[in-house]
Structure 1
């Protein structure tokens, strides 16, 4: 039986999986629609996880029993109970308990680090975590789109819908943003716009998908879109600031700050604003991780196997 490692990065919009044999040879990468345990619930998450994992293993001709190490880095792993729910899903698929490592998809970047580090992630949702020199991790934000997720793609998309509504209502003017949204989704009146928002308030990817239009409109000179991005950047920075301030002062001198997620990677104005405020308040610079969340999960899978 062939032995292998598995890394998973499962967010609200998409799920990604990578396979590698024990000699370091890639056995393929796979994608699927995403989910989050805290929003999608157990049954839908179970279905999504199984679709991704079992399809990938079948395509590669592998069996769960051959897995030496697997790291599941997933959005929505917010409590020990949710971690156990996730573990149950993978045990049911046939993975050995000792091979499993379950972490939040933000935490995966901090696992195994020896120096103080902090990471701000802004994708479909948002969250910040910081790890002190003693290894304890603090978390700020990331409690779902109704309570937090400030500055995330969902949050930006929601502000886009509100701006479009105000534009249609004659309360402000954002013609560039309005035209971009209308080209993608036609809203004949504010009633239709409100219906769309209400029907999709728990469909994070549908609303998060509008975030890129704010970036495009801002680049084309739409002042309202630019304001949305600026405010979102400040909201994101506040999460990161609070995580950093939870660290001991001695750790702040050597802390490594990382930025990740589609908003911070692909939306230059947001990332630039976060970096600017970080330098002004802490004299710290932020960088992108050397590897993606998927690559980090594979690293953790390997290292967990080495320690077992």
Structure 2
């Protein structure tokens, strides 16, 4: 049996899926393996290549697959959105893959993580569509019938990432500070967040956040308290999630305006932890997407690594 390998390489983790070359749906019991992040702009291109080779080697061993059974590798990496990045990563991987003894004729497809996510999410009969992503960060991507790829967002947490977990967390911290000062209404987010950080009062947030540098994901994970508070009817939290959803609708609108072929019938799907865990945000997004006739929402068909497998073929 021949296999293709689909890789979703993010900044913090990488998922590798081994799928039969004749399969068009993700298996009920997928052959997956996970490892460290492989964003080449964070760890370097050579190190990213080394980590990918190591992860594939582990998967081949774990699932008793021989290198000769691999006919294609599809790889979507965070930070790889430009042609020169794709070409550089392709050269490095082809060189490093020699150690795996793959066939000289195996197919290698390198692209961004957003493109594989789009490919995996859209219905298989769809010739065009959009994917809006909101996890730690946010961005959006679309494909037209011609195959042309359109993008929006992806500016990073300092000047973009609207609607993301990072965005929600900063907004929540601001609302907690306002509530403590009496400049805004009380919110359940205060107690949830303080308990999580083992703090007794809001003023301790100052030394906690300014006392040492914090990674982006440390801040973004606080968005879970916005979601929890919204599920309990907290109006401040609900308003934050609706605001974030509105920002994500603007991503869809940008893609729509860039294209002359996308219509109100174009499938629009979503991915990322914020969409996954917040029904408030998801339903508000769907409502306003349809209200503004920017496409028709549908649930994602499969995960990004599945899309990478399809591109590998």
Which category of TM-score, normalised to the shorter sequence, fits these structures?
A: 0.7 to 0.9
Distance verdict in 2 for CA 1:42–1:242, change over 3 Å: same
In the alignment, the residues of structure 2 paired with residue 273 and residue 30 of structure 1 have an alpha-carbon distance, to the nearest angstrom, of 34
Distance verdict in 2 for CA 1:63–1:204, change over 3 Å: farther
What are the Cα deviations for residues 6-60 of structure 1, in whole angstroms up to 9, with x where unaligned? 1112233432111134465877211234353445554664565355333323333
Distance verdict in 2 for CA 1:88–1:266, change over 3 Å: farther
In the alignment, the residues of structure 1 paired with residue 311 and residue 71 of structure 2 have an alpha-carbon distance, to the nearest angstrom, of 12
TM-score norm. by structure 1 comes to 0.83
TM-score norm. by structure 2 comes to 0.82
Consecutive unaligned residues in structure 2, runs of 5 or more = none
Decide whether the 8 Å contact of 1:35 with 1:45 is kept in 2: yes
Residue equivalent to 1:20: 19
In the alignment, the residues of structure 1 paired with residue 192 and residue 50 of structure 2 have an alpha-carbon distance, to the nearest angstrom, of 35
Residue equivalent to 1:90: 93
In the alignment, the residues of structure 1 paired with residue 46 and residue 294 of structure 2 have an alpha-carbon distance, to the nearest angstrom, of 45
**Equivalent of residue 117 in structure 1, options 126, 129, 138:** 129
- Tell me the SS of whatever aligns to 1:282: coil
- Tell me the SS of whatever aligns to 2:280: helix
Decide whether the 8 Å contact of 1:27 with 1:60 is kept in 2: no
In the alignment, the residues of structure 2 paired with residue 156 and residue 178 of structure 1 have an alpha-carbon distance, to the nearest angstrom, of 14
Residue equivalent to 2:228: 216
In the alignment, the residues of structure 1 paired with residue 182 and residue 37 of structure 2 have an alpha-carbon distance, to the nearest angstrom, of 37
Structure with higher helix content: 1
CA shift at 1:127, angstroms?
A: 1.2
Decide whether the 8 Å contact of 2:134 with 2:274 is kept in 1: yes
- Matches of residues 157-306 of structure 1 in structure 2 within 5 Å? 157-187=169-199, 189-195=204-210, 199-200=213-214, 203-248=215-260, 250-282=261-293, 284-302=295-313
In the alignment, the residues of structure 1 paired with residue 135 and residue 263 of structure 2 have an alpha-carbon distance, to the nearest angstrom, of 25
What are the Cα deviations for residues 57-86 of structure 1, in whole angstroms up to 9, with x where unaligned? 333344656521111122222212222343
Residue equivalent to 2:72: 69
